Structure 1
Amino acid sequence: MKAKKAAASSKIDIGISEKDRVAIAAGLSGLLADSFTLYLMTHNFHWNVTGPMFNSLHTMFMAQYTEQWNALDIIAERIRALGVKAPGSYAEYEKLTTIPPVKGEPKAMEMVALLVAAQEATARTARGLLELADKANDQPTMDLLTQRLDLHEKTAWMLRVLLEE
C-alpha cells in the first residue's frame, strides 16, 4: 500500500500535459547539446588562440565559456523539472547538436567566425522551441529561452563586429 501511495504522489501534475512536457524536454535537450558543444568549442578556443589579439580574445572567450558553463545546469534542471532525464554524454550531445565539429586548427579570426555561427545556431535552437512552450503555457521554459536568446544574439553580435573591416 505504501509503495502505491509513493508512486501516486510522484506523478507530475504541473499543468502541462505529459505529451507537451516530453516534447519541450526534447527541445531543451537539443538546446543543452548545442550549449555544451558551444561551451566546449569556446573553451578550446580560449586555450588555443594565438596571434596579435591573443589577450583580448583569450579574456573574451573565458567570459563566454564561463557563462555557457553556468547555463548548462539551468537547462538540464528545467528538463528534470519537466520529468525527463537530461542527456549527459558526448554521444548524446553529438546526436542532438546542430553545431558542426571544428575541423583542423583554426586561426584567431576563424575561431571568431565559428563562434558566431555556433552562437547563432544555439539561438535558432532556442527560438524553435518558443512556440511549443508558449502553447503549453510553460512560462519557466519561455523565460529560460528568452534569456538564452538574448545572450546568444548579443554574443553573436559582439563577435561578429570583430570580423568587420
Structure 2
Amino acid sequence: MSEKLVESLRRVVADTYAVMGQTHLCHWNVRGRSFFGLHNAFEEQYTEMFEAVDEIAERIRSIGALAPGGLANLAKLAAIDEVAEDASADDMVRHLIKCYDKLLTDLKAARDVAGDVDDSESEDLMIARIQVHEKTVWMLKSYLE
C-alpha cells in the first residue's frame, strides 16, 4: 500500500464532500430567474457526488487504509472555501467552478500517483471522476456565458 496514494485518495474524498456540501447549499438557497434550472442541476450534481464518494472511500478501504470522516476533519483536509448563503445565482456558479477546479487538481494528482504505483483500479476511478467533473465545469461555465 502506498501512503502517498492513500493520502491522495483521502484528499479526493474530502474535496468531494466539500463540493457536494457547497452544491447542496447552493441548491437550497439559489434564487432568481434561473432558480428552477439551477435548483435541479445542483440536485443532480450533489446526488451524483454522494454515490461517487462512497466508491472512492471503499477503494481506500480495499487497499488497506481507513477512509476519512467527520465534518471538521473533512473540511480541514479539503480546505475549500464556503459560499455565502445569500450569494447571487451567478456568484454561486462561479464559486462552484472554483471548488471543482480544486477537486480536479486533486483528482489528477491522485490519478498520477495511482499510475506511478501501478494501481490501475484507483487510476481508472480517478479518470472516471475527472471526466464527470470536467463536464460539470463546462456546463457551469456555459451557464455564465
Q: Is the contact made by 1:133 and 1:142 (CA closer than 8 Å) also made in structure 2?
A: yes
RMSD, aligned CA: 1.1
The match for 1:125 is: 106
Which structure's CA Rg is the greater one? 1
Question: Counterparts of 1:163 and 1:88 in 2: how far apart (Å)?
Answer: 34
Structure 2 Cα separation of the partners of residues 25 and 33 of structure 1: 12
Structure of higher RCO (CA pairs closer than 8 Å, 6+ residues apart):
2
Query: Residue 83 of structure 2 contacts residue 92 of structure 2 at CA under 8 Å; is this kept in 1?
Result: no
Percent of aligned pairs with the same amino acid:
37
- Alignment partner for residue 35 of structure 2, among 54, 71, 84? 54
Q: In structure 2, list runs of 5 or more residues that go unmatched.
A: none
Partner of 2:118: 137
The number of residue pairs the alignment matches comes to 145
Asked if 1:102 is matched to 2:96, the reply is no
Question: What does residue 63 of structure 1 align with?
Answer: 44
Q: What is the TM-score with the length of structure 2 in the denominator?
A: 0.95
Give the whole-Å Cα distance in 2 for the aligned partners of 1:104 and 1:71: 25
Provide the rounded CA distance (Å) in 2 between the counterparts of 1:119 and 1:151: 11
Q: Which residue of 1 aligns with 2:20?
A: 39
TM-score with structure 1 setting the length? 0.84
Structure 1's consecutive aligned runs of 4 or more residues displaced over 4 angstroms after TM superposition are none
Q: Secondary structure, in 3 states, of the residue corresponding to 2:31?
A: coil
1:104 deviates by 5.0
> Is residue 98–residue 121 contact of structure 1 (8 Å, CA) maintained in 2?
no
Amino acid at match of 1:138: D
